[in-house]
A and B are shown apart, each in its own frame.
Chain A
Amino acid sequence: MLEKLDDLFTSFEKALEEKLLQADVLNLKSEYLGKKGKVSEVLKSLKDVSLEEKKVIGPRANELKEKMNQMVAKKLSAIEIAEINEKLAKEKIDITNRESVQALGIKSGGYHPATIIQREVEDIFLSMGFDILDGPHIEDEFHNFEALNIPADHPARDMQDTFWFQKPTGENSYLLRTHTSTIQVRGMTSRKPPFKFIAPGKVFRCERTDASHEMVFHQLEGMMVGEDISVAHLTYFMKTVLKEIFKKDMEIRLRPGFFPFVEPGFELDIECQVCKGKGCSVCKKTGWVELLPCGMVHPNVLEAGGIDSEKYNGFAFGLGLDRLVMMRYGIDDIRHLHGADLRFISQFRTY
């Protein structure tokens, strides 16, 4: 009987191997292991054998049955995986055919480089408690000149190449703002000291354009007003901000500069980043590059903003944002900034 069982197992094993479909496997299973299956048939004659033999055959039969069940389960699972894989093979995709290899136009997006820098600078000032203000591009003479201590006939008006809408009258003719300093008065009249704010935005100059000159560009004005504000505070803020922008400690120097709305007025130079202060063609061999005008707010400007200049003072500065953009990315032509050419803009893609 033992031989019979072993023969059955061998024939089962052989038959199972040949089966490829789930149904055939299940049929085979019931053919051998079902109630009326081949194994049961063999075991029917168990009652005719001796007790000794029973003790051997019984466990052996169970062992084989268990083994056969496992083989069936394994076979079924293999068939299922094969079936699914076959289906997956039919749905197979080309995993190299991603957007990045397709000529579909542009599937990415990005901020304008001026926005990137402006936001970065805004965030630095915001983190130090500066408000951010905005103002009109079309201004009057009062905000662009008079309030900033630049009366009519002042020689300093030569420094401003102003676009005019009307003939200058010395008071209320309209013009395109030549600097973001126009915000100073608007900022001062809308708040009480102490306060500090910045004002980024577009400014306009009536100037022939070339790779480094534009008639529309971006500036960022800053102002801080309170009691006992000093030149030492101004340099503190400038150093802090420049360190954040350039991501390292910056050597700066202040030298006298004339701007009617500040007194004392300064030009702030930074160490030339090309030659590290040794002197090169970029810095005209001086080791320094002019970066921003700044100074202590002129008492006439404070008064124009309705602030008691006996009690309060402050500092102000103007930062050329486009200059920073060009320095950061090594942009060779400022006219790209307003050119709306995606060949330029798409280089600043975010993803």
Chain B
Amino acid sequence: MLISIDWINDFVKTPDMDPGKLGEKFTLATAEVEGILTSGAHLTKMCVAQVLEFEKHPEADKLNLVTFEITGGEKRTVVCGASNVKIGMKTPFAPIGTVLPGGFELTPKKIRGVLSEGMLCSESELGLSEESQGIMELPAKAPTGERLDKYFKETPDVLLDIDNKSLTHRPDLWGHYGMAREFSAIFKNPLKNPFDEKWQKDLERNISGGNSPVKVKFDGDSAGIGYYGLTVKNIKVGESPAWMKKRLTAIGLRPINSIVDISNYVMLELGFPNHIFDRDLIEGDEVIIKRVGEETTFITLDEEERKLVAEDTVICDSKKALVIGGLMGGLNSGVNEKTNTVFLEVANWKAAQVRRTSTRLGLRTDSSQRYEKSLDSHLMKRTLLRLLELIIKLNPDAEVIGGIEYDGKEYWKDEALVKPLSLSKINSVLGTELKSEEVKEILESLDFHVKGDDPFAITVPTYRATKDIEHPDDIIEEIGRIIGYDNIASTAPKWEMIPARLTPAQALHRKIRDYMVYHAKSFEVMTYPLVGEKLYKNASWPINDDHLLLNALSVTQNRMRPSLIPSLLEAAGLNTKNYSEFRLFELGRSYLKSKDNFQDERSQLGMVFYDHGKTPFIDLCNHVETLLQTTNIPGELVPIHPKFKNPLISEDWGGIHPFEFLNIRVMGKMVGAVLSIHPVLLRKFKIKGHVSMAILDMTNFESNRLKDKTKYKPLPKFPGSKFDCTVVLDTDRPVGDILTSMKKIKIKEMDSFKVLDIFSEGDKKNITVRASFIDPDKTLSGEFLAEAQKMIMDNLSKSGFPLKK
């Protein structure tokens, strides 16, 4: 929203300081000033020019080269397309460097090969009218070379561009008068009140009372709170005076006609919306405020057809709807150049309901924006009288018919909002040492009434009491911002020492990241938790609508992912283009829905190993096993089990490599898998080479502190013994089977049993295994060793692993 300092000066004297500083002060105390503009700045660069001669542009028929005189006989030539150029005419000239309204900056430029030294301007280019033909013709007596701001008697105005978001909670700041109060409090200059009781009484003398031609009636419950109406005749709709047009233009509003301009002017001045009807377009002798009651359509004055629902509130005459309450008037009842009698509306509406209708219709207006903030009904009458004042000012013949009509809540009976607040509380929350007088002075400059002395009884002005100020804390903010937060010295709190540490899940995640980075030589990535159907189709992965968004931005990201795997496959596909080998991982969430919970967010680790040449499956398995040990997760890799299904990956998923798949089992549950991706699926992701992935769902155990199971044993006092033997296997038989079969033998002195060497020979392979024995209490006897070795060899051959001969 733009605020004109010239306008503010009607109510309070703003200090004579650099506009930048002024804006900064306002930013620190009230609301963010996003930019500072100077209206009419272009006029200070421009001057009156007199055309001396013109000739056709050598390259373009429709362009002329116009030579003219400016100050002291100096000559300039520009390229000009206007058809109304005449020798001797006076016209405004903008030299290079001028920034015209609308932000267009004149830069040195050749037009069809001829350098133009600036521009002769039309009225519309100067922002003086909406449309214009040709360059602007100034009166012949306009002094050649005079600066345009002097010629137009324009004083430049400083405009503050205020961020609307920072006014969300301040219904009182949506007009210049309210803003002026802030300037008054910040700079400690008194605020003038031109709208006092005397002013009100003087204006009311124009209202004789009697029978009003248009009455006001509420019909049942609606979005309406209160509604004032007043009829005025002998109106001439015409152009607004220059001072009014200037102010409206300065803050970005297009002047339309004297009546519409008055309506806008009053809203921008007092912050309260209003509406002016052509009385003759109101059928019957009353306006009725009511809910629509049924679905219908309504054409608003912007010529759009709007769909209304039963709950929306409209203002109707005896036959039709005229206005959507709090939003916008209809095309059917607006003021036009023939209007003679007007009906003035100043009404208040319920914020939530205006907002609801506005959101549904996608229609945000200057009115709805203000009503949404909860306006104060006490301001209605002042607004109505200000409308009347300006109408009379511009239409001296205007005459009120009847009296002020009102229906709605008897707001004048509302009790004032009074809040108790102690000085110590103020100082405690702000961290200040303010004195009672300072607090009173600040609050009174903001129109709060302060009674008593610690605790104060603070009466909140009605226009701040609609929603803005509800708690004593809201009043503390008023004091804080006016003294300036920069004036509060930082201090450390005096607190008990309480140790803080990572939760088990956080500690686990950190350990995993450390392992993956330092040991597994992997890069951590993040993929989007939002996914689309296309990716899942491509990955042949089932997807449902459990977490489908209502208002997604695109079909590729319209739901929450049920698994990390498709996202990681996509990431793999992206990176195989650039690397022949890589490892990456993500610690992320997938999103499921359970019977009882809409959201079952799973904390998961996904790992991707890619190698162009050979399968990285074993490397990945090794890292998964080491990771489990490192993090004390009691897990192991086990083959597919007919009874215990893996909930993370369906066994029928086409992406599973037929021979490279292992489940991760933790505390008896399948909570993950290590697998290679089937080449057929890889092809769909344009991946050549080998991709192995691991997925681990940590949700069920990550919040437990996982214990380090390290147990110290004294060093052995007696020597151990080793026994190696070699067995023969078919090439495709896994070596792991030997170890599995060995688990059946129970020899307490056998410390470990491992594969020592594998040597292929034709369609067989020779496996050398090593058993280690140790007894902490004695040296192992020859008999014992012979017995143990026999047991091992017997077991091996019984299990189908014959000894090599």
- On A, residues with C-beta under 8 Å from B are 103-112, 114-115, 119, 125-126, 129-132, 134, 136-138, 152-153, 155-156, 158-159, 163-167, 174, 176, 194, 202, 204, 206-209, 215-216, 224, 226, 228-233, 235-236, 239, 253-258, 260, 263-267, 284-286, 296, 298-300, 313, 337-338, 340-343, 345-346, 349-351
Contacts and interface: CB of A to CB of B under 8 A. Distances in A.
Contacts of B481: 256, 264
Given A105-B579, A155-B355, A236-B493, A165 B548 contact: yes
Interface in B462-494: 471, 473-474, 476-477, 480-481, 485-486, 488-493
Contacts of A299: 471, 473
A258 B575 contact: no
Which of A167, A296, A300 gathers the greatest number of chain B CB atoms within 10 Å?
A: A296
Interface of B: 20, 24, 27-32, 34-35, 165-170, 351-352, 355-356, 372-373, 428-432, 471, 473-474, 476-477, 480-481, 485-486, 488-493, 495-503, 505-506, 510, 513, 516-518, 520-530, 547-553, 557, 560, 567, 570-571, 574-575, 578-584, 586, 589, 591, 598-599, 601, 610-612
A264 B476 contact: yes
A345 B524 contact: yes
Nearest to B514: A111
A174 B611 CA distance: 42
Contacts of B499: 129
30 contacts: A105-B612, A106-B523, A106-B582, A106-B583, A109-B517, A109-B520, A119-B510, A129-B497, A131-B503, A132-B506, A134-B505, A153-B352, A159-B165, A164-B549, A167-B550, A215-B557, A255-B27, A256-B30, A257-B166, A263-B474, A264-B473, A264-B477, A299-B473, A300-B471, A338-B527, A340-B571, A340-B584, A342-B525, A342-B584, A349-B523
B35 A284 contact: yes
Given A153-B351, A341-B575, A286 B24 contact: yes
A63 B326 CA distance: 125
Contacts of A208: 553
A232 B580 contact: no
A226 B495 contact: yes
Contacts of B429: 230-231, 296, 313
Contacts of A164: 549-551
B528 A226 contact: no
A134 B586 CA distance: 18
Contacts of A158: 168
Which of A155, A159, A239 gathers the greatest number of chain B CB atoms within 10 Å?
A: A155
Nearest to A107: B521
A106 B525 CA distance: 14
A239 B490 contact: yes
Which of B355, B526, B557, B579 gathers the greatest number of chain A CB atoms within 10 Å?
A: B526
A62 to B, nearest CB: 49
B29 A112 contact: no
Given A129-B497, A296-B473, A256 B525 contact: no
A290 to B, nearest CB: 9
Given A132-B502, A215-B553, A256-B166, 8 more contacts: A110-B524, A112-B525, A137-B599, A155-B372, A156-B168, A236-B492, A258-B166, A340-B571
A281 B318 CA distance: 58
Contacts of A112: 523-526
Contact of A155 (B168, B506, B557, B599): B168
Contact of A345 (B525, B529, B553): B525
A82 to B, nearest CB: 35
A254 B485 contact: yes
Contact of A229 (B486, B493, B557, B579): B493
Contact of A114 (B431, B486, B517, B526): B526
Question: Top 5 A-B pairs ranked by shortest CB distance?
Answer: A232-B431, A105-B581, A230-B431, A264-B477, A153-B352
Contacts of A176: 549
A134 B442 CA distance: 42
A105 B582 contact: yes
Given A167-B550, A258-B166, A340 B526 contact: yes
A255 B485 contact: yes
A84 to B, nearest CB: 28
Which of A129, A230, A284 gathers the greatest number of chain B CB atoms within 10 Å?
A: A230
Contacts of A114: 526
Given A105-B581, A340-B526, A350-B518, A256 B547 contact: no
A256 B165 contact: no
A138 B599 contact: yes
A296 B170 CA distance: 18
Contact of B513 (A115, A255, A341): A115
A263 B473 contact: yes
B427 to A, nearest CB: 8
Contact of B491 (A233, A298, A342): A233
B550 A165 contact: yes
A231 B34 CA distance: 25
A79 B34 CA distance: 87
Contacts of A167: 550
Contacts of A136: 599, 601
A206 B551 contact: yes
A341 B500 CA distance: 35
B513 A256 contact: no
B599 A174 contact: yes
Contact of A340 (B513, B520, B527): B527
Contact of B526 (A105, A155, A337): A337
A134 to B, nearest CB: 7
A231 B430 contact: yes
Contact of B523 (A104, A109, A258, A266): A109
Contacts of A256: 28-31, 166, 477, 481
Nearest to A214: B528
Contact of A110 (B491, B517, B612): B517
A111 B513 contact: yes
Given A134-B505, A263-B471, A109 B522 contact: yes
B801 to A, nearest CB: 37
Which of B355, B517, B580 gathers the greatest number of chain A CB atoms within 10 Å?
A: B517
